Amino acid sequence: MAPTLSAPQVPDPMQAPPVRWGVLGPGGIASTFAGAVRAGTRSMVVAVGSRSAERAAAFAGRHGVERSYGSYEDLVADEGVEAVYVASPHSEHHAHALLALAAGKPVLVEKAFTRNLAEAEEVLAAADAEGLLAAEAMWSRYLPSYDVVRRTVEDGTLGDVLLVEAEHAQLLWPDGPERLSSPDLAGGALLDLGVYPVAFADHVLGGLDAVRASGTLSDLGVDVTTTVTARGPRGGIAHLWCSMGAATACPATVVGTRARLELSGGGSFYGSGASVHLVAPDGTVLDEWVPTVTEHGFRHQVAEVARALAEGRQETWSVPWDATRRVMATMDEVRRQLGVTYPGE
């Protein structure tokens, strides 16, 4: 019988218990989050906090959110908020996650989880001490496509995995958001874009060591284009790159001794529109998995956090704390080799 892809076993997000969310930082991604919560789950965004009361109120108006606050402190103190989504720039994740945890609120923290591993450890230690959930909003790791990949690799269909190749290049610099160009906001391609290939390789290989990186830096000292090679614990090699100075179709391939997986389509390997193909060494497509729903991909991470909260867990299955630690450690090492540091680190 010809080899096939393993089927995903991600529960329907509409079946997850409802959670009342507070959004911290009403920027671009917070809007995507609010849309996915509303359209793709039974949860609700009930409050939003901004550094400006006007911006909070405008976001609340756009997304039908009941309560808006002109400070993050007021947001996390809201007794009707059951969990906080931290959607500020990378530089602020550590402080904002700690703020929410100190107020007794579980947190879903946008990627990159923090600027570095030391900050991540402090957030996880605070969650541990408070008995609260903390999860990295690396949304792709919660998607059915990544579940197909993980199960197919674990089932041995590919044979031994020799190589993971992934790229994430978007044209966001020099004329893009300040968030990417500014060292103060922990900008650069790696933390914003490269975190996807690094997390994908971690997802497939279960860890990365022997990291070798090279890259080009902007005049302000953040990375513009970065390449990474690394090795997984069973010998598979990761070959990854990212850039914020150019755009590609952002494909990924997992190459095994018996077959390979190709993730592509929908704009990127990591998005909710990506398909997975199982390809024989001679190029024959043996099987394909195509997503039936491509909108509101964030709904899967929202639902998984809701299930974890309902079950009293402090971690999600898809991005356990050790996965966040490994990804942050890899990115620390890449930045060390590139010579990228952020003010105040």
Ligand X SMILES: NC(=O)c1ccc[n+]([C@@H]2O[C@H](COP(=O)([O-])OP(=O)(O)OC[C@H]3O[C@@H](n4cnc5c(N)ncnc54)[C@H](OP(=O)(O)O)[C@@H]3O)[C@@H](O)[C@H]2O)c1
Q: Is 260 a residue that touches ligand X (CB under 6 A)? A: no
Q: Is 87 a residue that touches ligand X (CB under 6 A)? A: yes
Q: Is 196:234 a contact under the CB 8 Å cutoff?
A: no
Residues 106-145, mask of contacts with ligand X (x by CB under 6 A): ----xx---------------------------x------
Nearer to ligand X, 193 or 204 (CB): 193
What's the angle, vertex CA 44, arms to CA 40 and CA 50, rounded to 5?
115
Shortest Å, Cβ 125 to ligand X: 21
Please name the residue that has the structure tokens 């990228």.
340
Nearer to ligand X, 25 or 207 (CB): 25
Shortest Å, Cβ 27 to ligand X: 2
Q: Which of 105, 111, 168, 179 is catalytic?
A: 111
241-259 burial, b if ≥16 CB within 10 A, otherwise e? bbbbbeeeebbbbbbbeeb
Shortest Å, Cβ 114 to ligand X: 10
Give the one residue of 63, 90, 141, 168 binding ligand X; rule: CB under 6 A.
Answer: 90
> 269: exposed, middle or buried (C-beta count within 10 Å: 0-12, 13-18, 19+)?
buried
Note if 111 is an active site residue. Answer: yes
Instruction: Kindly give, in sequence order, each residue whose CB lies less than 8 Å from that of residue 342, ignoring residues fewer than 6 positions away.
Output: 91, 115, 183, 184, 186
Nearer to ligand X, 39 or 285 (CB): 39
Shortest Å, Cβ 256 to ligand X: 28
From 265, 234, 87, select the one nearest 164 (Cα to Cα). 234
Rg over alpha carbons for the chain, rounded to the nearest Å, is: 20
Q: Which of residues 2-41 bind ligand X (CB under 6 A)?
A: 25-29
- For 267, left (φ over 0), alpha (ψ -120 to 50), or beta? left
Shortest Å, Cβ 139 to ligand X: 5
Cis amide bond preceding 177, omega within 30? no
Residues 177-206, mask of contacts with ligand X (x by CB under 6 A): x-x-----x------x--------------
Total number of residues binding ligand X (CB under 6 A)? 21
What is the side-by-side order of every strand in the sheet holding 20-24? 67-69, 44-49, 20-24, 83-86, 107-110, 134-137
Q: Is 272 a residue that touches ligand X (CB under 6 A)? A: no
The 8-class DSSP code of residue 14 comes to G
Q: Is 51 a residue that touches ligand X (CB under 6 A)? A: yes
| Catalytic machinery residues | 111
- Binding residues for ligand X (CB under 6 A): 25-29, 50-52, 55, 87-90, 92, 110-111, 139, 177, 179, 185, 192
